[in-house]
Chain A
Amino acid sequence: DAMVIQNPRYQVTQFGKPVTLSCSQTLNHNVMYWYQQKSSQAPKLLFHYYDKDFNNEADTPDNFQSRRPNTSFCFLDIRSPGLGDAAMYLCATSRVREPLEQFFGPGTRLTVL
Chain B
Amino acid sequence: GQNIDQPTEMTATEGAIVQINCTYQTSGFNGLFWYQQHAGEAPTFLSYNVLDGLEEKGRFSSFLSRSKGYSYLLLKELQMKDSASYLCAVVDSNYQLIWGAGTKLIIKP
Residues of A within 8 A of B (CB): 40-43, 45, 88, 90, 98-107, 109
Question: Do B101 and A107 touch across chains, with their CB atoms under 8 A apart?
Answer: no
Question: Do A42 and B87 touch across chains, with their CB atoms under 8 A apart?
Answer: yes
Given A100-B31, A101-B48: A42 in contact with B41 (beta carbons within 8 A):
no
| Interface of chain B: mostly helix, strand, loop or mixed | loop
Chain B residues with CB below 8 A from A109, complex form? 40
Q: Using C-beta atoms within 8 Å of the partner chain, give the interface range for chain B.
A: 20 to 34
Question: Do A42 and B102 touch across chains, with their CB atoms under 8 A apart?
Answer: yes
Question: Do B91 and A43 touch across chains, with their CB atoms under 8 A apart?
Answer: no
Q: Which 8 A-B pairs have the closest CB atoms?
A: A104-B42, A42-B99, A42-B101, A107-B42, A101-B45, A43-B99, A106-B42, A104-B43
Chain B residues with CB below 8 A from A43, complex form? 43, 87, 99
Q: Which residue of B has the minimal Cβ distance to A99?
A: B48
Q: Which residue of B has the minimal Cβ distance to A97?
A: B95
Chain A residues with CB below 8 A from B85, complex form? 40
Q: Which residue of A has the minimal Cβ distance to B101?
A: A42
Q: Which residue of B has the minimal Cβ distance to A88?
A: B40
Asked whether B30 is an interface residue with its Cβ less than 8 Å from the other chain, the reply is yes
Residues of B within 8 A of A (CB): 4, 8, 30-31, 33, 40-45, 48, 50, 85, 87, 91, 95-97, 99-102, 104
Question: Do B33 and A101 touch across chains, with their CB atoms under 8 A apart?
Answer: yes
**From residue A28, how far is it (CB to closest CB) to chain B in Å?**
18
Q: Which residue of B has the minimal Cβ distance to A104?
A: B42
Q: Which residue of B has the minimal Cβ distance to A31?
A: B95
Chain A residues with CB below 8 A from B45, complex form? 101-103
Q: Which residue of A has the minimal Cβ distance to B8?
A: A40
Given A99-B48, A100-B91, A101-B33: A40 in contact with B43 (beta carbons within 8 A):
no
